[in-house]
Chains A and B, each alone.
Chain A
Amino acid sequence: MSRWPLQLNRRKFLRSTALGATAVAGVLHAPAFLRAQGAAVKIGVLHPVSGALSYSGQQGRLGATMAIDDVNTSGGIKALGGAKFDPMLGDAQSTPDGGNAEVEKMNAAGVCAVVGGYASAICLSASQTAARYDLPYVVDVGVVDSIVTRGLKNTFRFGPGFGVIAKTALDNLVAINDQAGKPAKTVMIVHEDSAFGAGLAKLLNAQLPDRGFQVLETISHPTPTREFENVVLKIKAQNPDLVIPANYYNEYVLLARTMQQQRLRPKGIYSVLGGAASSYKFVKEFPEAAQYIMDCNHWFDPKNPKALDLKKRVEDKGQFYTYEVYMNYSCILLLADAIERAASTDRAKITEALAGSTFSGHVMPYGPTKFVDGQNQGAAPVNTQVLGKDIQVILPVQFASAKPIFPMPPA
């Protein structure tokens, strides 16, 4: 009595699941346009939200998800019948391998594009993995130039790369130094030892002497490092006019605090892509250590109401408006625009649409997007300085809100 209904149920179950499987397979094999109408647009959002870079990764994810919410609440992708973004959030665990594994998963899950990566080393490997599947990859931050010079058709970088950043940073440094009567002649560079820091240090070492600066020493350190006393001792011994740090957030904060602790006060701290140098979090938590630090870094367009509105919304959430947030926000909008114009979730069509993008609805001071070999041509950094409890833009002049204070007044 009890066995028969059970068996029947099992058979029924098997039959229905078989039907279900066939149906799913059918949908998967259907042409893209059939699936796309009104269906969600799956995209990969990759950040190092755990591990040594977790703070930056979480900030990046915040920016990306805010943009996704904005796209979804304002009607989704109209060309696809108002399809909403369905983000697949990935954690690169602060390593290139972690990034690769997530891209593999995202590809298997059928995303139509990936945004993010954050660290240069992660962007390099994740975009290459994505290239194997012709998966469009929008780099949010990763600044190493080889990210866009490997000839990968799928990889687009919205922000500036090393070349442009280093040139701008050095031009501006010379300008600031000249204006103050050339007080700075000697430099020490403290950099982290992965692709980002080491690459930047190499560039600076090559270019600083041509601009009249003598590099006394270049010190590298791993990420994470939890002690900078020996580094600061070495700086003290050489007593350079300028210290140029190139490291990620935690190490940057620690270095600046150790310099303050050991009463080391060079004529200036001038960072290039300083991990914390233009971070509201750093300025709020350690205002004394952050005072007068100059930075050449990613920065939002201070004259763009959309950027200011986003700043307010981020701060209302109790978060800091760091560059990871607004760069990722912009990258998602850039991708949304490309999918809109492609009117498809087909990877090749999105890649094509990105390549021809003239998107200007972002919050960065870049002007309309124009990609040449995957690099956005208008992308450029600005110079900031921590003055009082705020971060002011000091160069370029058209965005400046304050004049640079250099050399640092004595403590």
Chain B
Amino acid sequence: MLSPVILVPAVLNGLMAGAVYALVALGLTLIYGVLHIINFAHGALLTAAMFAAFFAFTLLGLDPYLAAFLLAPLFFAIGYALQRFIIGPAAHGEDRNFLLVTLGLAVVIENALLYFFRADTRTINLPYAFDVVEIGPAFVAVPRIIAFGAVIAVAAALWTMMRWTDTGKAIRAVAKEKLGAELCGINVAHIYAMTFGLGTACVAVAACLLIPTYYVNPSAGEAFVLIAFTIVVLGGMGSIAGALIGGLCVGVVESFSSIFLGESLGQIGIFIMFIVVLLARPSGLFGARQ
């Protein structure tokens, strides 16, 4: 069972699946790091983005990987507007209100999708979806390799932006000390909305990477968000590197647990890991110690 013929592809599959989980978690951890809220609408936004990518392909014939360039700015705008005009004003600055408002948004978005698109599970067929690249003893599917590369690129871009641009610096300032940042002339409401927009754009890219090999129905996003929460906790709340490495770890664990425990129980490994991390290292792998 533990021959390289199994091990190498299992690890590769896990890493590639984990990369997409990491991207979803990246959006979540970014929003948590700055706004200090857990965005319960993350899964619903992912589902909405998957529907958008699905219809971009079926109605406009737009390849999902190209659609990412269209959907990322679109969902950035949606995220920005949601935070600026709905979540922010409705929460009145109270953390627990943020929680409830995003939860409410999730319910609204999911049910709107259910109403318009029904419970059908939809998939798209791309001519290259089953093409493979030979890596040692493994045949790795092309969409997975593209997804892996794209996630690394997005994470690098995000990191560069946070490190070197004024907006990035402002986001970090608001994350560290909201009041101080405001006193320095940073528009906190704008930075909050920018962060929420960035998180939502991450989700849009993840959706475009998922749709070639995954399915979409009005609850498709939920499965990912549960895993993304685990990753965020595992990597440390608010840490970009933590989300990336946590995501890859979770991917590999899932891959192995589905091989050894079976497909139906595949996710059990993730949640066991989640509990162990919470017990042993509550602040996560890269989180600041309290």
Contacts and interface: CB of A to CB of B under 8 A. Distances in A.
Most buried by A among B5, B121, B130: B121
Interface in B1-18: 1, 3, 5-6, 9-10, 13, 17
Contact of B263 (A219, A236, A237, A250): A219
Interface in B195-221: 213-215, 217
B263 A230 contact: yes
B181 to A, nearest CB: 43
Given A226-B213, A226-B214, A260-B130, A231 B119 contact: no
Contacts of B13: 229-230, 233
A411 to B, nearest CB: 14
A193 interface: yes
A214 interface: no
A223 to B, nearest CB: 10
A261 B9 CA distance: 13
B186 interface: no
Contact of A233 (B10, B17, B121): B10
A224 B215 contact: yes
Contact-residue size bin, chain B (C-beta under 8 Å from the other chain):
20 to 34
B119 A237 contact: no
A224 B121 contact: yes
B264 A261 contact: no
Given A226-B214, A226-B215, A262-B139, A221 B1 contact: no
A54 B17 CA distance: 27
Interface in B144-164: none
Contacts of A236: 5-6
A219 B10 CA distance: 17
A52 interface: yes
Contacts of B141: 229, 261
A225 interface: yes
Interface residues of A, number: 30
A199 B123 CA distance: 28
B251 to A, nearest CB: 12
A237 B3 contact: yes
Interface in A232-274: 233-234, 236-237, 250, 257-258, 260-263
Contact of A220 (B5, B123, B264): B264
A70 interface: no
Contacts of B66: none
A261 B128 CA distance: 11
Nearest to B265: A220
B139 A261 contact: yes
Interface string B153-189: 0000000000000000000000000000000000000
A201 to B, nearest CB: 12
A149 to B, nearest CB: 27
B230 interface: no
B245 to A, nearest CB: 22
A233 B119 CA distance: 31
Nearest to A289: B130
A51 interface: yes
Contacts of B17: 227
Contact of B264 (A222, A226, A263): A222
A93 interface: yes
B94 interface: no
B227 to A, nearest CB: 14
Contacts of A94: 119
Given A50-B120, A237-B5, A262-B139, A221 B10 contact: no
Nearest to A227: B213
Contacts of A222: 263-264
A234 B259 contact: yes
B10 A230 contact: yes
B262 A219 contact: yes
Contacts of B258: 230
Contacts of B132: 261-262
Contacts of B139: 261-263
A89 to B, nearest CB: 14
Contacts of B213: 226-227
11 contacts: A50-B119, A51-B217, A52-B121, A54-B121, A93-B119, A226-B214, A233-B259, A237-B6, A250-B121, A258-B130, A262-B132
**Leading 10 A-B pairs by shortest Cβ distance:** A221-B263, A230-B258, A261-B130, A50-B120, A50-B119, A237-B6, A50-B118, A51-B119, A226-B214, A230-B259
Interface of A: 50-52, 54, 93-94, 193, 219-222, 224-227, 229-231, 233-234, 236-237, 250, 257-258, 260-263, 285
